[in-house]
Amino acid sequence: MSSATRFGAAVASALALVLVAGAGVGASPASAAPALSCYAGVLSINVVGIPLNAGQAGTPGGACKNDAQALTLAPSLPLGVLDVGVTTSTAAARTTVTNGSAPIAADARLENARVGVSSLLGGLDIRADVISSHVEGSCVNDYATSGQVLNLTINGIKVTADSPSINTGLGIASVALNKVTRTATGASRDAVSVSIAGLVTVVIGHAEASGGATCPPDASPPTDDGTPPSDGVSGGSGTPIPAPGATPAANPTTPTNGTNANTCARIKMWFVPRVKNTDRYLRTPGPTSITTGIQHGVRYVTRGRLVNCKGKPIIGARVDVFHQIKSGKARKTGIRSRRDGLLTLILPSNLHTRTVIYEYRPNLNGKKVAARASVKKILKVNGRTVY
C-alpha cells in the first residue's frame, strides 16, 4: 500500500525564521548521553540547521528502548516555498535492547521509495528499491554498521557511489551513500544523504547506537560482508583488512597472523538464531546450514571463534572469506578476529544459495591454511533451489 506526506508548511516556516533572523540557527547544547543510546529515523529534512523528522524509533541521544515505528504519512496540499513528498511501500524504524542491557541495535528501512523535494526553482526526485541502515553492538568500540542502497536514482540519474555534483535547480547537490560516523562511544550510519548548497539536507535511512562498557583493548567492530547486490551499493564498516603480505614476515612459515597465532588452530562458525517474529538474536550457537525463501530485508549474522590447539584465542587475526557458488569460488573478502578470538560476519539480505568458507592462515605471506570452517545458505522458491 502506498502512502504520501508533505512537510511544506513546516519547511516554509523554518526558512522564514532563518530569513527573518538573518543568520543560521545554532544547535542547542547537547545533554549528557545515557549509558546506552539508540535511535533510528526513516527520513530527516534539515533546513539551515532546523530538523524535521519522520518515522522515528527512540530519540536522538535518548535512552535505548525497544521501539518500532512505521512512517505515518498524512497527505496534504503543498504549501510554502519548499515542498516535500514521500511515497513508499515499506518505511519503518526499529530500535532494540535486550533486557535493558547490551547488545543494542537500531535499524531504518524503506522499500519502493520515492522522496521528492521541490520548489518553483527545481528540486530533487530520489527513488530506490531499497534504502536501509543498521547499527548494532555491545560496548563502546564494538559497534558494527551495515546497510544497503539498491537501484538508486536522483533526478533520473543512476547513483552507485558518492557524487559531488547533481544540478537540482535549487543549487548543486552533493550525495553521500552509506556514510558512517564513529565517535568515542558508538557509531551512526546514513544510507543516503543529499545536501543542496548547504541550505537543505535530506537524510534517508539513519541509524545510531552508542554507550555501554569499555571493550577490551583488542576489540574491533564486527564486519559486514559488503558484497554488493546487483545494481546496488552495500557495505560495512568493520576494521579495515590489509591485503595479504602487507606486513612482511622474516619467514613465511612463522605464525604471525594474530596474537597467539599458531600453525595448529581451530575455527568454528554458525548462523546466529533469531527470536521468532523479531529482529533480536539469541546468544547461543545456531546451525551451520539454513534454508530460506525470499525474505526482504532479513540479514543473516554468522558468528564463531578462532583458537589455537592449546585453546588460547587468536586475537586480531585476518580470516579469509570465500563465497562458493554453483560455478566455483566467488569473491574473496576478509574479517578480523576480536577479543577472545570472536568472529562476526553480517551477510547481505539478497544472497542466493552458496557456501561461505572461512580460512585462517597462520602467516599471511604463506598459503598454508591451518583452520577452515563453513556455513551454507540455501534459497528455495516454489520448492526449487535458486543459485
Distances (CA, A) of 315 to 213, 232, 335, 356: 20, 33, 12, 21
Q: Where are the domains of the chain?
A: 3-24+32-211, 239-386
Helix (H, G, I), strand (E, B) or coil at 97: strand
Closest CA to 146 of 162, 130, 161, 135: 135
Distance CA 290, CA 287 (A): 7
Q: Is the pTM of this model over 0.75?
A: no
Mean pLDDT of the 125-141 span: 84
Q: What is the mean pLDDT of residues 279-288?
A: 76
358's torsion region: left (phi>0), alpha (psi -120 to 50) or beta?
A: beta
State pLDDT tens for residues 175-220. Answer: 888 888 988 888 899 999 998 877 788 999 999 998 887 765 544 4
- Select the CATH number that applies to the domain covering 239-386 from these four: 3.40.50.720, 2.60.40.10, 3.40.1390.10, 3.20.20.140: 2.60.40.10
Q: CA-CA distance, 43 to 357, in Å (whole number)?
A: 37
Tell me what percent of the residues of the chain surpass a pLDDT of 70: 69
Is pLDDT at 59 greater than 70 in this prediction?
A: yes
Three cell numbers, residue 55: 518515522
pLDDT at 211: 87
The answer to whether the CB of 270 falls within 8 A of the CB of 375 is: yes
Q: What is the pLDDT of residues 16-43, one digit of tens each?
A: 433 333 333 343 444 443 478 999 999 9
| pLDDT of 76 higher than 70 | no
**DSSP annotation string for 127-148:** EEEEEEEEEEESSTT--EEEEE
Neighbour count for residue 276 (Cβ, 10 Å): 6
What percent of the chain has pLDDT above 90?
A: 18
Alpha-carbon span 193 to 44, nearest angstrom: 9
Q: pLDDT digits over 355-375, tens only?
A: 999 999 999 888 899 999 999
DSSP 230: T
